[in-house]
Chains A and B, each alone.
Chain A
Amino acid sequence: MKFDVDIRLRRGDFSRHIAFQSDAAVTALVGPSGIGKTSILLAIAGLVRPESGHIRVAGRTLFDAAAGIDMPPRDRGLGVVFQDGRLFPHLRVRANLGYAHRASPVAIDAMAERLGLSALLDRWPRNLSGGEARRVALGRALLAQPAALLLDEPLSNLDPARIAATLELLAEASHSLPLLQVTHVLAEAKALGATVVTVAGP
């Protein structure tokens, strides 16, 4: 099973139960905005601690409350592409791409080429457009050679041409590693041929 999640997450005053399993190349968590989809993503990445339950990704147990397992984010080997990119503002694009230790200069150049970032390697993040920053974030996550890729609204705020290019990239990435995407637009999930998991209200 690529994703096996069964957790209780506390949000504010109430806690909610989220459970899904998926063996698809691309899995999409779809639901309206503000419902806590991002929290699920963060919990899988290890940045939010569930109250109970278990999280298994690509056969590895990352969290299991009953067994007392709670792997720190750095050991989970999951690439996370945050909605706001979260590029490091004090590092140029090249250094952002190569932040993960395993990224070699050759690999960085190849990734930049693939993402159309070759001309931007010496730029500072603040001088990037939204779409460029998103691609840097994607490249940075992929260069860490993750076991799976978690994407938070990967297509939001992109112009149509950019959406097509990004979809192509994600489809290509999905051949080599499982993707989990969070979106409030069902069409975006469909575009990647994702197995849809509907996240309902509390």
Chain B
Amino acid sequence: MILAPLSLAETQAIMVSLKVAGLATLGAMPLAFGLAFVLARRRFPGKSLADALVNLPLVLPPVVTGYLLLLAFGRNGFAGQALSALGISVLFRWTGAAIAAGVMALPLMVAPMRQALDSMDRRLEAAAATLGASRWRVFATITVPLILPGIIAAVVLGFAKAVGEFGATAIFVSSIPGETETLPLAINALLQVPGREASALRLAVLSIAIAFAALVGAQYWQRRAARHRT
């Protein structure tokens, strides 16, 4: 029944999803911030190319992204060889699922931070500099607090996207219950088996709850962060 306690398999899928999405968001965040900063503030040759590359996972079929990841992290891929030298393999591991989710979430995390950087009043940074603040202090005490709503939006969008990622994850690390089988993969598996619709529906409701909680939480934190502005 839909209200029955969660089965072990269902609990596993939730735990894997949270673990994968958590690591994906955490890992992608510094990269996304760096990219947002460089794309918003710097001019360099090949910038539009870099811009397009960041956004590529957004428009590419996820299956293609998963396949490219498989090539890169496979035994003969450049990333796979580098990692295997360190004794690490992400293939068929939840860490691999986090990589796939992180790559897919990256453009969604770059966009709100870049937009926040573009729209912030840079004259406030100049004012801080005239007060003797170092570049680092201006960044930490003016820039970051002022773009905080954008950073929060990036975390939430990235996390929600990572929880929902399906195609790239399925191709890259397959669907192994308890290891790489996230909520969407588990729902897909359940829908292939006759008589498991109730379980699929419960996981679907859970997915909705997680996404909803993330969005509501984001609104709250953004309001808090922007409370005293303008």
Q: Can you list 12 contacts pairing A with B, beta carbon distance less than 8 Å?
A: A73-B126, A73-B130, A76-B130, A79-B131, A80-B130, A88-B128, A88-B142, A90-B145, A90-B146, A126-B229, A144-B130, A144-B131
Cα A80 to Cα B124 with chains together (Å):
12
B192 at the interface (CB under 8 A from A): no
B interface residues with partner A (beta carbon < 8 Å): 123-124, 126-135, 141-142, 145-146, 228-230
Assess the B133–A99 pair: CB atoms within 8 A: yes
Assess the B228–A74 pair: CB atoms within 8 A: no
Which residues of the other chain, A, contact B229 by a CB distance below 8 angstroms?
A: 89-90, 126
A90-B146, A90-B228 known; A144+B128 contact, CB < 8 A: no
Assess the A47–B228 pair: CB atoms within 8 A: no
Cα A99 to Cα B127 with chains together (Å):
10
A140 at the interface (CB under 8 A from B): yes
Q: Which of B123, B126, B146, B229 has the most CB of A within 10 A?
A: B126
Which residues of the other chain, A, contact B129 by a CB distance below 8 angstroms?
A: 46-47, 72-74
Interface size class of A (residues with CB under 8 A): 20 to 34
A89-B228, A90-B228, A126-B228 known; A79+B130 contact, CB < 8 A: yes
Assess the A74–B124 pair: CB atoms within 8 A: no
- Bits for A70-97, please: 1 = Cβ < 8 Å to B, else 0: 0011111111101000101110000000
Cα A100 to Cα B137 with chains together (Å):
11
Our count of residue pairs bridging A and B at CB distance below 8 angstroms stands at 65
A141 at the interface (CB under 8 A from B): yes
| Residue of B with least CB distance to A123 | B228
Tell me the A145-175 residues at the B interface (CB within 8 Å): none
Which residues of the other chain, B, contact A90 by a CB distance below 8 angstroms?
A: 145-146, 228-229
A86-B123, A90-B145 known; A45+B228 contact, CB < 8 A: no
Which residues of the other chain, A, contact B146 by a CB distance below 8 angstroms?
A: 89-90
Assess the A47–B126 pair: CB atoms within 8 A: yes
Which residues of the other chain, A, contact B133 by a CB distance below 8 angstroms?
A: 74, 99-101
Which residues of the other chain, B, contact A73 by a CB distance below 8 angstroms?
A: 126, 129-130
Cα A125 to Cα B132 with chains together (Å):
21
Q: Which of A77, A88, A124 has the most CB of B within 10 A?
A: A88
Q: B85 → chain A, closest Cβ, in Å?
A: 43
Q: A147 → chain B, closest Cβ, in Å?
A: 11
Which residues of the other chain, A, contact B134 by a CB distance below 8 angstroms?
A: 74
Cα A152 to Cα B9 with chains together (Å):
68
Which residues of the other chain, B, contact A125 by a CB distance below 8 angstroms?
A: 228
